[in-house]
Each structure stands twice: as structure tokens, then as C-alpha cells.
Amino acid sequence: MSQPYIEEEFRNKLDLDLWKRISKFALGHKRLLIPLTSSALLLSVVEALFPFATKVAIEIVEQGRPVIEVWKPGAIYFSLAVTLSILVLVFIRCAGGISHHISHDIKRDCFQRLQELEFAFYDAQPTGWLISRLTADCDRLSRILAWGFLDLVWGVFYVLAMSAVMLAINWKLALVVLSTIPPLIVISRFFQKRMLLASRQIRKHNARITASYNEGIAGVKTTKTLGREKQALSEFEGMSTDMYGASVRRAMLGAVYLPLVMTIGSIGSGLALWYGGHSVLSGYISLGTLVMFISFAGSFFFPINQIAMVLAEMQGAQAAGERVMGLLATYPKIKDSEEVKNRIATYAESSSMDPNIACDGYPHIINQIEFKNLSFSYNDKEAVLKNFNLTVTRGQTIALVGPSGGGKSTIVSLVSRFYEPTEGQLLFNDVDYRKRSLDWLQGQLGIVLQTPHLFNGSICENIRYGRLDATDEEIIEAAKIVNAHEFVMKLDDGYETKIGEGGALLSTGEKQLVSFARALIANPQIFIMDEATSSIDTETEKLIQEGMSKVFEGRISFVIAHRLSTIRSADQILVIQKGEIEEQGTHEELLANRGHYYELYVNQFRRERVRQELEAS
């Protein structure tokens, strides 16, 4: 799912402001952050002290001290070892802890924001893209934040501590050894950046190979009929060769880099031996000091490599950081205005007392919905609805028919306030619905979509999704009204039957029946059926048809449908084409017109009858 969305950006400049914003997530975990920082600091000091033990040991031998003094370097070394192990324990726990906590917090906030954002946001973002933002990006950021921070602190202070110890003991020799640091930094930065980019290249090739396998497996029959097995293989070989090349290139970078920095370490040791050897011979420094310097010279590589790696990763993750922070900085456009919020506060008491008053102080009962000179466009360019006018009163059923893309779904999405009109108004009981509470409005909706998206869980849980406090009896009652009860009872576990991911264990028709019950359980005032019967078998369609006539009573209902049986009984049929009402009237009126509706009817009816005939036999 996430494969097509591999990110390729690599920023040359570190955006410190961005990282500052991201690191706010870490600041909430001071309980872990403080021990992490102090253990990183201590660790660098401890590690810098190790060669000191060797120095003490060698000096004992050099100066011919009594053998009993051997305990000294042993004790120093051992106590350093114990301290280091404890610090390792502490920093792994703290860094890991921070990383997982941050990851959890960022995900929580992102998820929460995603639940608030309106449909227009989702129209612009592919599902897979959003999922990888929420999983891969968040994990990556939190990892860099915690471990990167640790490595940076440790690395910088380790270098500083070693330098300080050396400078304090012999500043001339120290400067000689320290001269290897600048080339180490330059080379490490150079290679780490390239290795990161090369690894990404490999991932990109790998994603292509996976996609190619996928296509090869899914299209195997077609490939066979076209006889293009050889050609397909040679194309695949092209991709696997690219991947091979990229992998070898990545390995080459590593193969040059590591020996190179090791060699620089040896240069340092060599310099120390040469320059320091003279000092030893002339008695300026002890042999133990020289040995210590030599081992320091070989140790600079580790922290500097680590720092370079963190910086490269930060550059690589910057794009991910921008996306996540960008998501958190996106606020929903459709929400209660200040005025509505004030009303909700003012009427809190009276609405809780009187069930006829909604939370925003207006009457709860919807008697009429009116589209008034309403226009709408998704992207401010092409109008999907133009100057649309329609009045629907309680108890009426409106059927919307017409070609796809004509604007039928837009009309019901506007009623649901998933989008808001670009021009004109939508009035509920003569009040613009933007002056009403969004939560209240959406609580009055019962929607059945073409693809009945069900959730992993039992049938009972899925129906209850419509109203979380519904009792089992109420659920069965709703299922009975929409004719779902019968099929549910035939299942092994009845209402407790698990339906699998996305309801995979049910047929499309059964899923639709469950989603119908789910819409009904909330006892909505507005009922919307958006192509709900278009991809189900005739048998289920009949069941739903029966259910609809019961459910629609006393509500305002909108039905988008192709099936004639569904359309015919509507109070008003609207033929919508190119964002306008082409024809309007009852079934009989429209047939008499011999216009679009008549044509549609003839074609559709023929199709349906043929289909029924083929299903029956």
C-alpha cells in the first residue's frame, strides 16, 4: 500500500525551525529527557576515561612499581565498565522510551486531526499516502528525534571530552592527534549523505520490483494469451539489474568509506607514535601517556561517524517532518462558527430539558429543507451545481437520476454538510444550516453508500455503530425493519458473527442490509441512499426495497438509484444532468414527457429483466 509513496526528497539545508517544532513533542517527556541527556553526557566522559586505566597500568610497569599496585588500573577499569553498562541500560530505556512515546503522541494527534478534516481534504489525498504519513513518517521522525538526539549529544561530548583530556596532559601532542578530526568530519559527511541517497535508490528499485511481481502475478493469464512471457521476463530483468547495480553502488560507498576513515585513524596513531615517541625518548612524557594518545587517535572515528549519520538522516527526514507538521497545521474548514458555539452555550440548559429543542436552540424537528439559488464547485473552476433550487418537506422522498458526474452525489453531500455551498444557501426550516450545529446536523443523518464499508467485528457491533448506546433489542428491531434479521439468524453465531476485514465474509447484498440497519438505528430525520442498490442481486434488492418504504415514512429521504423499482415510488424524481435539473416530476408525469427519463427507463428496465432471467436459471 505504501510502496508507491516513497519519498525522494533530500534537503541540503537543515531547517532548524522545523526540528524545533517537532522537538516540542519530546519536551513533554522531561522525566525521560533529563536522564537521557545526562546519561549521554556521562557516557562520553566515561568512555574518554577508559584509556586512562591503560595509562596507569603501563606506568606501573614502566616505573617498576610493586606488583600489588596492579589492582589500581583493574579497579579503575572495572568501575568504569560498571558505570558504562548502567549508563547503557539507562540511555537505551530513555531513548527508546522517548521515541515510542513521541511516536504514539504524534500518531494520536495526526489521527485526531484526520477525523476532523472535511471530505475536500480526502478528495485531494490518496488513501495510501495518508496511511504511510501516519505510520512510516511518524515512526521515522520519532526515532530520529530520540536516538539522533542521543547520538548527537554523546558524539559531540565524547570528542570534546577526549580533546580536553589530551589537551590537559600534553597540548602539543594533543594538537597533533586532533589534526585528524577535520578530514574525518569532511569525509564522513560526504559519504553518509551519499550512502543515505543510495539506500533510497535501492528502496525505489525494490518498490518497482514488487510492483512488477504484483503485475506479473495478477496479469498472468493475459501475459500467457499474449505470449509475452519472454518479453515480460526481459523487462523484469532490466529492473532487477538496476536494483543489482544500485546495491553494488551502495556497497561500494561503504567499501570505500570505512577503510578510508580507519586509515585516517591509523594516520593519527602513526603521528602520535612518531611525534610522541620522540617525547618519550627525551623523557617529556611517559610511555603510558603515549599509549593513551594512540588509542584516542583511533577512537575519533566512532563519534564523528555517528554525528554525520544523524545529520544525514535529519536531512533525509525533513520532508517527512514537513508533511506531518503540515498535517497538524491543517484545520478543518467546515466547523461550528463562533456564533453557533455561543448559541450552543446559551441554550445548553433549555435543550437538555426539552427534547424538541436542539443543542443550538433551534427546533429539533426538521420540517423542510430548501436549496436556494445554490451553486457549488469542488475546485472553484467548474461548477458542479448551478443555481439549484429545490424544496423538500418532511415525509417526502426525492429520487435523483441521471448520468454519473452529473451532480447527484454532490446534492446529498451538500445536505450532509460534507461540503458547503459555494454560492446560495441551504435552509433547514428557513435557517441557513451554517448557523446550526454541525454535530447536531450530522446526528440527524442516516446514510447508506454504494459500497457498504463495514468494520472488522461482529454484525451487532457494526449495526451499533449507528448509535453506540443502542440495546441488543433495538438492534434486532432495526434489522427486522430492513429485512436483515432473517439472513443474520441463518449465520452460525447470529448477531455475534464476525464478518472479517471490511465485511469480507458477507456477500455484497448482506453487507448492504447490515449497513442499512446501521443507518436506521440512529433514527435519523434525513435518510440518504447513495446508489445503495446498484451492485446487489435482485433478491436482496427486493428486501431493501421493502425496507425502504417502511423506513422512509415521516422522514426526508434522498435516493440516488439506477434501479427503477427504487425510483418509481418516489414523490419527486429529478433528472440531474450537468449540474442542473433536466426534468422533474412523478414517475407518470415523466414517462408522459417522453424525455430523458423515458429513455433511461426503457433501457434500464430491459437490462434488469434480462439480468433477472439469467439469475433465475
Partner 1 sequence: MNHQLPNSQGGATSAHKLIWNLIDNHRLPYGIAALALFLSTAFQFFVPLIGSATIDFVLVEGTSEANPLLERVIWMIGGSEMVKEHLWLPAIAMLGFAIVGSLFSFIQKRKASIASDGICKGLKDKLYNHIQRMANRYLDQSQTGDLLQRCTSDIETIRLFLAAHVVEIGRALILLVTVLPIMLLMNVWLTLVSTIMIPIIVGFGYIYFKRVKRIFKDVDESEGRLTAVVQENITGIRVVRAFGKHDFEIDKFSKPNQEYRDTSLRLTRLMSLFWAPSDMLNLTQICLALVAGTYMAVKGMTTIGTLFGFLALLNMVLWPVRMMGRILTDLGKTIVAINRINEILIEPVETETDVVKIRPKLPTSGSIVMRGVTFSHSDSDPTVENISFEVEPGETLAILGPSGAGKSTLMHLMLRFYDCEKGEILLDGFNIQELDRQYVREQFGVVLQEPFLYSRSIKENIRFGNQAAEEKAIHEVARLASIHETITQFSEGYDTEIGERGITLSGGQRQRVAISRALLAETPILLLDDALSAVDNETESAIIDALKNRHGKHTTIVIAHRLSTLAHADKIIVMEKGRIIQTGTHDILTKEEGLYKRLWDIQTRLEESFEKEAMTAS
DSSP SS3 for 335? coil
Closest listed residue to residue 508, CA positions, set 477, 532, 492, 528: 532
Smallest gap from Cβ 217 to partner 1, in A, equals 5
Smallest gap from Cβ 299 to partner 1, in A, equals 10
Smallest gap from Cβ 294 to partner 1, in A, equals 6
Smallest gap from Cβ 17 to partner 1, in A, equals 28
* All cell numbers assigned to 95: 531513548
Smallest gap from Cβ 315 to partner 1, in A, equals 25
User: Which lies closer to partner 1 via its Cβ, residue 10 or residue 440?
Assistant: 440
Smallest gap from Cβ 451 to partner 1, in A, equals 9
User: Which lies closer to partner 1 via its Cβ, residue 311 or residue 529?
Assistant: 529
CB 228 within 8 A of CB 184: no
Smallest gap from Cβ 588 to partner 1, in A, equals 4
User: Which lies closer to partner 1 via its Cβ, residue 391 or residue 603?
Assistant: 603
**Residue 377: partners with Cβ closer than 8 Å, 6 or more residues away:** 383, 384, 422
Angle made by CA atoms 501, 504, 509, in degrees to the nearest 5 = 135
User: Which lies closer to partner 1 via its Cβ, residue 430 or residue 589?
Assistant: 589
User: Which lies closer to partner 1 via its Cβ, residue 92 or residue 319?
Assistant: 92
Both ends of the chain: CA-CA distance in Å?
40
The β-bridge partners of 458 are 498
**Residue 361: partners with Cβ closer than 8 Å, 6 or more residues away:** 343, 344, 346, 347, 350, 351
Angle made by CA atoms 535, 537, 540, in degrees to the nearest 5 = 110
User: Which lies closer to partner 1 via its Cβ, residue 277 or residue 363?
Assistant: 277
User: Which lies closer to partner 1 via its Cβ, residue 153 or residue 448?
Assistant: 448
Smallest gap from Cβ 586 to partner 1, in A, equals 9
Smallest gap from Cβ 134 to partner 1, in A, equals 5
Give me the DSSP letters along 348-395.
HHHHHH-TTB-TTSSBSS--EEEEEEEEEESSSSSEEEEEEEEEEETT
User: Which lies closer to partner 1 via its Cβ, residue 29 or residue 311?
Assistant: 29
User: Which lies closer to partner 1 via its Cβ, residue 185 or residue 267?
Assistant: 267
The sign of the torsion formed by the CA atoms of 535, 541, 543, 544 equals: positive
Smallest gap from Cβ 387 to partner 1, in A, equals 27
User: Which lies closer to partner 1 via its Cβ, residue 1 or residue 365?
Assistant: 1
User: Which lies closer to partner 1 via its Cβ, residue 81 or residue 329?
Assistant: 81
CB atoms within 10 A of CB 377: 17
Residue 134 parent element (H or E)? none
User: Could you give the CA distance from residue 338 to residue 298 in angstroms, rounded to a whole number?
Assistant: 66
Closest listed residue to residue 18, CA positions, set 189, 141, 143: 141
Strands 445-448 and 526-530: parallel
Smallest gap from Cβ 361 to partner 1, in A, equals 19
The sheet with strand 556-560 has its strands ordered as 445-448, 526-530, 556-560, 397-401, 572-577, 580-585
User: Which lies closer to partner 1 via its Cβ, residue 421 or residue 524?
Assistant: 524
Q: Say how many CA atoms lie within 13 Å of 617 toward its Cβ.
A: 5
Smallest gap from Cβ 526 to partner 1, in A, equals 11
The sign of the torsion formed by the CA atoms of 603, 607, 610, 613 equals: negative
DSSP SS3 for 432? strand
**Distances 418 to 118, 209, 421, 422, 507 between C-alpha atoms, Å:** 6, 39, 10, 13, 29
Q: What are phi and psi of 170, to 5 degrees?
A: -155, 100
Smallest gap from Cβ 334 to partner 1, in A, equals 10
Smallest gap from Cβ 23 to partner 1, in A, equals 19
User: Could you give the CA distance from residue 458 to residue 421 in angstroms, rounded to a whole number?
Assistant: 38
User: Which lies closer to partner 1 via its Cβ, residue 220 or residue 365?
Assistant: 220
Closest listed residue to residue 165, CA positions, set 333, 308, 321, 292: 292
User: Could you give the CA distance from residue 109 to residue 112 in angstroms, rounded to a whole number?
Assistant: 5
Smallest gap from Cβ 164 to partner 1, in A, equals 22
For the purposes of burial, counting CB atoms within 10 Å of the CB of 17, is it exposed (0-12), middle (13-18) or buried (19 or more)? exposed
User: Which lies closer to partner 1 via its Cβ, residue 311 or residue 460?
Assistant: 460
* All cell numbers assigned to 290: 603515549
User: Which lies closer to partner 1 via its Cβ, residue 38 or residue 295?
Assistant: 295
